[in-house]
Amino acid sequence: MKPFDIVIVGGGGAGLYAAMEAMKTNPALNIAVLSKVYPNRSHTSAAQGGANAALANTAKDDTVELHIFDTIKGSDYLADQDAVEILCSEAPKIIRELDNIGTPWSRLEDNTIAQRPFGGAGRPRCCYCADKTGHTILQTLYEQCLKKGVFFFNEYFALQLSVNGSRMKGLIALNIKTGKVEAFPARTVVFATGGYAKMYWNRSSNAAGNTGDGQAIAYRAGIPLKDMEFVQFHPTGLRKSGLLVTEGARGEGGYLVNAAGERFMSRYAPEKMELGPRDLVSRSIETEILQGRGFDSPAGKYVHLDLTHLGADLIMSRLPQIREMSMYFEGVDPIEEPIPVRPTAHYSMGGIDTDNFGRTVMDGVYAAGECACVSVHGANRLGGNSLLDILVFGRLAGRTAAEEARRFEPAQIGAEELKDTEAALRSYMRPSGHFERYGTLREELGQTLGMNVGIYREASKIRKGIEDLAALSERFRHIRVFDTSDIFNTNLLQVLELKNMLDLAETVASGALAREESRGSHTRTDFPVRDDEKWHKHTLATLDRNGVRLGEKPVSMGRYELQERTY
Amino acid sequence: MTGALELHTEEKRDITLRVFRFNPQVDSKPYFDDYTIQIEKGITVLRSLNYIKEHVDASVSFRAFCQAGICGSCGMRINGISKLACTTQVWDELSKCREAGIIKIEPLRNMPLIKDLIVDMDPLVEKMKQYSNWIETRMPESEIGKKEFLVSEEEFRKYDKATDCILCASCVSECTILRAHKEYVSPAVLLKSYRMNVDGRDAIHDVRLGELVKDHGVWDCTHCYRCQETCVKHIPIMEAIHGIREDAIEVRGVRDTSGAKHAEAFMEDIEKKGKLVEATLPIRTNGVAWTLQNLLPMAIKMILKRRTPPPPPLVKPAKGMKKFREMFREMTEHVRAEQKSHKK
Ligand SMILES: Cc1cc2nc3c(=O)[nH]c(=O)nc-3n(C[C@H](O)[C@H](O)[C@H](O)COP(=O)(O)OP(=O)(O)OC[C@H]3O[C@@H](n4cnc5c(N)ncnc54)[C@H](O)[C@@H]3O)c2cc1C
Ligand code: SF4
Ligand code: SF4
Ligand code: FES
């Protein structure tokens, strides 16, 4: 097969932007985008709230500087300041570019792009399209890629990198429609496979496929993962399903209320109230619940997100999706009743370690979007900064890969390697010694993570979590794929995704145990304060023969000195 | 095959999901499998299917991703109607079962079947390409990213609702014309085309319109309203279809062969071949005027709008058929006259 110059794995916002930019940078390149779902199905579509950019349309005194500062402070000073500078200064350009190519941004009265307040931001700078921002951005990018004739391999599941020593030769993937294992010899591979927060399963706002496939593939190929212990819990997940009620609901003026009828955020963030940063609001809700001030129900304890005072008009015009979701999944109409919510695992700050241009330590391998960790979010991502991240760094990674692709010699992937891979997949279907069910293991994975490596963490609990994970990995060796068909074997895909989550969960738990401090989303009850002396640094998780090996990497500082983070 | 899916103590019942099965590798023809499980109130069809896959039969195949009604993966026919499995409550379906307690689950129609509940989306993507379902920006290359377009509330409203479309293909599955003609543009693509065509930022309006008026395009729609009734996002698809037609006549004129041809074919159908199936006309419920307005091809309506005295007054239902015939003949004469004058 003719080698590709660039193979992009993932058709979400990051992958599509990378593809568009790579084509623009060098139209002569042979570029492919692989995705396990049709690109327009990617999880980017679920982002409701918006994307930050200091356009200064709504607040005339907003500046890129302020955006940088908010992001660094929000990250609990773990973000790399040079990366944040790129993120925020590219932001206005990229939002306008999207406007230019068709994203239907909501508008202000003067017909400019509308912006609204969002958690942790000092100015209203979150650009939005009602509550379907991610959906419309993804549609726009997909449309533009169709227009440009990007070569899509839809419903292909990436399995592994083909590596010879330190030389990357390309990617091996499963054609879901046929069940064939296929080789994608490539000079460069860009991972854009999204996050891993689905490992918390029922307590996660993520799509079923946000299983960290790209991170797991990179990890198994020896590429380090950075800051994996940082998983963001969104304050307002629906009680029953974990599905998300966007921060937009609080941005528009929603209240958080406990069982005693108090707007309890006054205790934790008297100034910002409901618009405090996510980690803080999540911890506040969890504390209210732990201290017995939550509501009780068979589906678990929760608090109220009250929108009733906003009125039917505003709810229907600005938050229609939220209303629909509350009705579909909780049976509650927010015009009339408050929505039952509790924190839900939402975003993975950690990911494949890259530099500011998307390069990993392995020649020819790049990463961008939620699957990468540049890091611009540090210990806590601000709402509206992730869509921005995938756009800005998706574009940068695409450009870098395009510029560098021709430096790497093409290579072929041997037939032997494909055969071995296929045999490994087939072996899951063999009855002898294979009896464990996917559903059971996945359920237990979610439970132990939620209980032991969730919002509040401590050494003894994390150790218990690590033990559980080891036991689950052991049991995984006996997992059985009961569906033996070739065509669209979704049972096989589930099992492959479970393997990825198991591998990554170990890095999350190990990082959480090592990091003896509380910072951003990572809260250790046994080490309740931030410890800059020991822990103002990134963790790096690398796979070696005995499992996770932890290393570290300094944070790149700039204009902003370490400060206590209060709101 | 039985099992139990519970969340907490709510009302529970034994319910059967009758699922369409077909694996082209081994099955010579499709069949149905019945799965009876205990389901409590508040559970969606998708969660029930997940339960079956995880605990009863791992080989049942369907697509699902977001589980929140936003990605468009899980379109399927539930009790005969195309919709999203993840936003459909099992409880709500119970009153719609043909056989009590049995919910029938089938793949979407009008798209090639891959396996069980999974159909091929590629033909739809190809149509999006054929009809240029993207914005070709008016912004000069050198200016891109430097300034924003100013978009008025009024313009924004024109396409706001259409951008809700999640390409779930439920409307595609229900479209009456697509069942007969696979090449037909399809409601979702008409909607998307309309969305692009009313966007002031776009520069290829005429190119798109040119494609839309060709064979298998906008004139083929029968106005059956199925797509709109089905749309999982409650998008007024017919407004888009009307919009394109009005636009086509506005921009390309009544003389535009495809529009005119379409109008002529319609009249011939009714007159000569007697194809007007009276029983299906919604005269009883909607009255003669409404029926004429909604049944007639846009081309005819546009001509009438300009050339004739205002449309006939509303006649009360019941014996409407005779009146309908009379009015139809009257209109036909006007249209004929109009077209002749153009052809000269
Ligand atoms: C409910 C929700 C609401 C959110 N709201 C906001 C918001 O308001 N503002 C904001 O800034 N951020 C928000 N976020 C975060 C943001 O949406 C995501 O971080 C971002 O969209 C991730 O984009 P991505 O391109 O990196 O990955 P994704 O959009 O997740 O795309 C991943 C792609 O990789 C593909 N893929 C994965 N694994 C494989 C494999 N093995 N083989 C082949 N392909 C594969 C998938 O098919 C998919 O195309 C929200 C997130 C959630 C869950
Ligand atoms: S109204 Fe037209 S597009 Fe819609 S279903 Fe009927 S024939 Fe198809
Ligand atoms: S128009 Fe409605 S039914 Fe049709 S694909 Fe779009 S969202 Fe689905
Ligand atoms: S799973 Fe995404 S729409 Fe149903």
Q: Please tell me the CATH code under which domain A430-535 is placed.
A: 1.20.58.100
At A14-46, the pLDDT tens digits run 999 999 999 999 999 999 999 999 999 999 999
Residues B183 and B247 in one domain: yes
State the total domains in chain B. 3
Residues B239 and B133 in one domain: yes
Of A123, A125, A234, A377, the catalytic one is: A234
Q: Identify residue B89 by its one-letter amino acid code.
A: Q
CA-CA distance, A88 to A78, in Å (whole number)?
16
| Residue (of B171, B90, B190) closest to B131 by Cα position | B190
Classified as helix, coil or strand, A404 is: helix
Does B322 or A464 have the greater pLDDT score? A464
Name the minimum distance, in Å, from the CA of B100 to any CA of chain A: 24
Residues B26 and B130 in one domain: no
CA-CA distance, A411 to A86, in Å (whole number)?
34
| Residue (of A33, A44, A42) closest to A146 by Cα position | A33
Burial of B141 (0-12, 13-18, 19+ CB in 10 A): exposed
Confidence at A565, pLDDT banded by 50, 70, 90? confident
Last-in-domain residue among B118, B149, B179: B118
Find the residue in A nearest to B85 (Cα).
A328
At A194-227, the pLDDT tens digits run 999 999 998 899 999 999 999 999 999 999 999 9
Q: Identify residue B294 by its one-letter amino acid code.
A: N
* CB neighbour list of residue B277: distance below 8 Å, 6 or more residues apart: none
Structure tokens at A343: 């924190």
Burial of A160 (0-12, 13-18, 19+ CB in 10 A): middle
Please answer whether residues B205 and B199 qualify as being in contact, where contact means their C-beta atoms are separated by less than 8 angstroms.
no
Mean pLDDT lowest among A254-268, B50-64, B226-240, B285-299: B285-299
Confidence at B198, pLDDT banded by 50, 70, 90? very high
Give residues (CB < 6 A) around ligand 3: B 165-171, 188, 191, 230-233, 235, 237
* CB neighbour list of residue B232: distance below 8 Å, 6 or more residues apart: B69, B75, B83, B84, B87, B166, B168, B170
- CATH 3.90.700.10 is the classification of domain A235-345: yes
Please give the angle made by the CA atoms of A134, A135 and A136, to the nearest 5 degrees: 95
Last-in-domain residue among B118, B139, B161: B118
Q: Which of B9, B68, B114 sits opposite A487 (nearest CB)?
A: B114
State in Å: Cα A530 to ligand 2 middle: 61
Please answer whether residues A319 and A250 qualify as being in contact, where contact means their C-beta atoms are separated by less than 8 angstroms.
no
- CB atoms closer than 10 angstroms to residue B137: 21
Contact check, Cβ <8 Å, A100/B59:
no
Q: State the average pLDDT over residues A478-504.
A: 97
pLDDT of residue B42: 78
CA-CA distance, A453 to A203, in Å (whole number)?
12
| Main-chain phi, psi angles of A71, to 5 degrees | -65, -45
Residue ranges of chain A assigned to CATH 1.20.58.100: 430-535
Residues B189 and B301 in one domain: no
Structure tokens at A221: 């190929």
Angle between helix B187-197 and B122-130 (nearest 10): 30
ω into B95 cis (within 30 of 0): no
CA atoms within 13 A on the CB side of B172: 33
pLDDT of residue A332: 86
The answer on pLDDT for B248 being more than 70 is yes
Residues B202 and B281 in one domain: no
State in Å: Cα B316 to ligand 3 middle: 35
Confidence at B250, pLDDT banded by 50, 70, 90? confident
Q: Which of B54, B73, B148 sits opposite A438 (nearest CB)?
A: B54
Q: Which domain holds residue B306?
A: 272-334
Catalytic residue status for A234: yes
ipTM attached to this prediction:
0.92
* CB neighbour list of residue A58: distance below 8 Å, 6 or more residues apart: A108, A114, A115, A116, A123, A124, A125
CA-CA distance, A274 to A332, in Å (whole number)?
21
DSSP element (H, E) containing B343: helix B320-343
At A64-83, the pLDDT tens digits run 999 999 999 999 999 999 99
Which chain A residues in 479-498 lie under 8 Å from chain B, judged by CB atoms?
481-491
CATH number of domain containing B216: 1.10.1060.10
ω into A375 cis (within 30 of 0): yes
Please answer whether residues A131 and A322 qualify as being in contact, where contact means their C-beta atoms are separated by less than 8 angstroms.
yes
Q: State the average pLDDT over residues A364-393.
A: 97
Query: Is B49 part of a structural domain of the chain?
Result: yes
The answer on pLDDT for B9 being more than 90 is no
Instruction: Using CA atoms of A507, A508, A513, A514 in order, give the dihedral in degrees to the nearest 10.
Output: 60
Classified as helix, coil or strand, B130 is: helix
Burial of B230 (0-12, 13-18, 19+ CB in 10 A): buried
Q: How big is chain B by its Cα radius of gyration, in Å? A: 24
pLDDT of residue B319: 55
At B155-189, the pLDDT tens digits run 999 999 999 999 999 999 999 999 999 999 999 99
The answer on pLDDT for B304 being more than 70 is no
pLDDT of residue B297: 63
Residues B130 and B204 in one domain: yes
Mean pLDDT across chain A, nearest whole number? Answer: 95
The answer on pLDDT for A59 being more than 70 is yes
Chain B residues whose CB is inside 8 A of the A318 CB are none
Residues B157 and B76 in one domain: no
Residues B113 and B140 in one domain: no
Give residues (CB < 6 A) around ligand 4: B 64-67, 69-74, 84, 86
CA-CA distance, B261 to B267, in Å (whole number)?
10
Please answer whether residues A559 and A81 qualify as being in contact, where contact means their C-beta atoms are separated by less than 8 angstroms.
yes
- CB atoms closer than 10 angstroms to residue A270: 10
| Main-chain phi, psi angles of B104, to 5 degrees | -95, 130
pLDDT of residue A514: 98
CA-CA distance, A382 to B259, in Å (whole number)?
53
Residues B176 and B237 in one domain: yes
Residues B182 and B245 in one domain: yes
Please answer whether residues A104 and B159 qualify as being in contact, where contact means their C-beta atoms are separated by less than 8 angstroms.
yes
Residue ranges of chain A assigned to CATH 3.90.700.10: 235-345
User: For chain B, what percent of residues have pLDDT higher than 90?
Assistant: 62
Q: State the average pLDDT over residues B220-246.
A: 92
Distances, alpha carbon B58 to alpha carbons A237, B40, B53, B244, in Å: 29, 21, 4, 45
Beta strand pairing call for A365-367 and A372-373: unpaired
pLDDT of residue B280: 46
Contact check, Cβ <8 Å, A488/B118:
yes
Chosen from B55, B71, B127, B139 to mutate, greatest number of chain A CBs within 10 A: B71
At B87-127, the pLDDT tens digits run 999 999 999 999 999 999 999 999 999 999 999 999 999 99
Contact check, Cβ <8 Å, A139/B163:
yes
CA-CA distance, A25 to B40, in Å (whole number)?
55
Please answer whether residues B312 and B327 qualify as being in contact, where contact means their C-beta atoms are separated by less than 8 angstroms.
yes
Last-in-domain residue among B90, B118, B146: B118
CA-CA distance, A239 to A342, in Å (whole number)?
6
Query: Is B169 part of a structural domain of the chain?
Result: yes
Contact check, Cβ <8 Å, A104/B146:
no
Residues B140 and B218 in one domain: yes
Please answer whether residues A281 and A274 qualify as being in contact, where contact means their C-beta atoms are separated by less than 8 angstroms.
yes
Please answer whether residues A278 and A523 qualify as being in contact, where contact means their C-beta atoms are separated by less than 8 angstroms.
no
At B203-214, the pLDDT tens digits run 999 999 999 999
Residues B182 and B66 in one domain: no
pLDDT of residue B309: 41
Beta strands in A192-300 (DSSP E): 225-226, 231-238, 255-257
Classified as helix, coil or strand, A189 is: strand
pLDDT of residue A320: 85
Chosen from B135, B152, B154 to mutate, greatest number of chain A CBs within 10 A: B135
| Order of strands across the sheet that contains A51-52 | A51-52, A126-127, A115-116
For residue B118, the cross-strand partners are: B115
Query: Is B218 part of a structural domain of the chain?
Result: yes
Find the residue in A nearest to B125 (Cα).
A146
Mean pLDDT across chain B, nearest whole number? Answer: 84
Query: Is B283 part of a structural domain of the chain?
Result: yes
CATH number of domain containing B78: 3.10.20.30
Contact check, Cβ <8 Å, A96/B24:
no
Beta strand pairing call for B4-5 and B31-40: parallel
The answer on pLDDT for B8 being more than 50 is no
Confidence at B256, pLDDT banded by 50, 70, 90? confident
